[in-house]
Structure formats: structure tokens, C-alpha cells
Amino acid sequence: MSQASKKIAKVLMEGGKLLAESCPVCSTPLVQEKSGEVYCVNCQKRVVIVSKDEEIVEKLSLPSVLAELEELMVNMIHKEVDKISSSDKSSVDGFERLNQMLEVLKRIRELKAT
């Protein structure tokens, strides 16, 4: 049994549904979690399904978008810190980028708190 099949089975056992649609990126069958979110278990990403005649409208909730942005920013900060740490000389540019990233992270967290 493939990893994707195992993950699909897990979602189904948790009350999710297997959908007729497949992931536009990897063609894995999509699942709808019990919460209602449509998900590709292979890509590990949410998928928004729209009809052919419907305009594409962003349907992701602000809290989930902010959570993803926060995770992305934290990862970027870690990479920048590693880059600065491994450099032989201190770069003002690196610290400026790090400061900008920290400001963005602060703003994301402020938005999440409201």
C-alpha cells in the first residue's frame, strides 16, 4: 500500500470523504476532512475546488492563512540566522533582512491576536 493510500485511509477512518476530484498538481485523489477542508494527502496542501464557470475566489480563512505565513516566516528566520552564523564576516545586509523578517512575524502575530 502506498503512503498516499495509507494517508487517505487514515482520513477516511477519521470521518473524512474521498472525492471524485484529483489534485491538480500530483493527480492524487482528494479527500474532504471532517472539518470540510479539501486536502491532498500527497502534497499535504489544501485545495480549493471551483466550477469551470465560477470565478476563482479565495476561500481560505484568514486564521489559516496567517498560520501558514507565520510558519513560513519562522522557517525563513531560522535559515537567515543559520546563514549569518555560518558566515565568516558579519553582514549588515543579513541583519537588515533578519530585522525585516522579525517585523513581519511580529505583524502576523498581532493580526492573529485580533
pLDDT in 10s for each residue of the chain, 114 residues? 678 788 888 888 888 899 888 888 888 889 998 888 888 888 888 887 776 554 444 445 667 778 888 999 999 999 988 888 887 776 678 888 899 999 999 999 998 887
Q: Residue 29 pairs with which residues in a beta bridge?
A: 22
- Measured CA to CA, the distance from residue 52 to residue 93 in angstroms comes to 46
Of 7, 16, 15, whose CA–CA distance to 43 is shortest?
7
Measured from the Cβ of residue 8, the count of other Cβ atoms closer than 10 Å reads 21
Domain coordinates in residue numbering, the chain: 3-46, 62-113
Which pTM was predicted? 0.47
